Amino acid sequence: MRVDAHRMWWWCVHRLEFRIVRAQVLSVDCTCRIAQRGVHHVIPVTAPQIAIGWGGVRFSPRALLAWLSPGTHLVLLGAGGGLAPVLRVGDVVTATALLDAEQLDRGALVVDPLPWTTALPGFYWAPIVTVRMPVYRPAEKHRLYRTTGAWCVDMESVHWRDVVVALARAFRFSVVRWILDTAQERVSPRPSWWQQRMREILEREGDRIACWIQGMLTSVTWIDTARGV
């Protein structure tokens, strides 16, 4: 039985990703029925039709989607690695398509567009590729960029999309990533490196994330007003 009344969900897999998003928007804890079932999330004060949540490893894509209403727009939101040389830490990439690094013969996997775009510096629309193992070295990033054409790499998006498609319900699905490391950087495999970089984004590189959030909130609210929702 579905218990969700939110029209759009921004979902973060990791707690630090959720903290970064929540720091950029005035929000309150939601007490709807899905929250009562243990899915902690907040709602922006200016756009309560949007839910912002995180679940960590205890929430599989299928577990979350089982509670969402048909027609819900799910946006997977969080950090990714830069593959295109032009990207800087903190830049925002919205997926135009997804690629599976282990099955490139699947081609470009379709994702849904978002209702907000901008020509401001630091915002890009490009393919994102999902890998099974982390990509640490610049040479590996360059090889992935050359062979796939993707601008950003993550470890979750294709798996979430596949579940959305397998459920054969009228969900919409989009992916947005902010850049955690550039194509030129060598990444440490230590969790402490990842955590420190996320804190740096929270403290110093969150301006583009904040701009994306405010643009989305304004667009969604305007569209609902125009529709008389």
Contact criterion met (CB below 8 Å) for 128 and 154: yes
> Which pLDDT belongs to residue 60?
76
What pLDDT shows up at residue 95? 96
User: CATH topology for 8-227?
Assistant: Rossmann fold (3.40.50)
Give the pLDDT score at 201.
92
CA dist., res. 215 & res. 92, Å (int):
13
Residues of the chain with pLDDT under 50: 1-3
User: Looking at residue 120, what is its pLDDT?
Assistant: 86
User: What pLDDT sits at residue 225?
Assistant: 59
Read off the pLDDT of residues 170-218 as tens digits, 9 standing for 90 and up.
789 999 999 999 999 999 999 999 999 999 998 888 899 999 999 999 8
Query: What does the pLDDT read at residue 78?
Result: 95
- pLDDT for position 229: 53
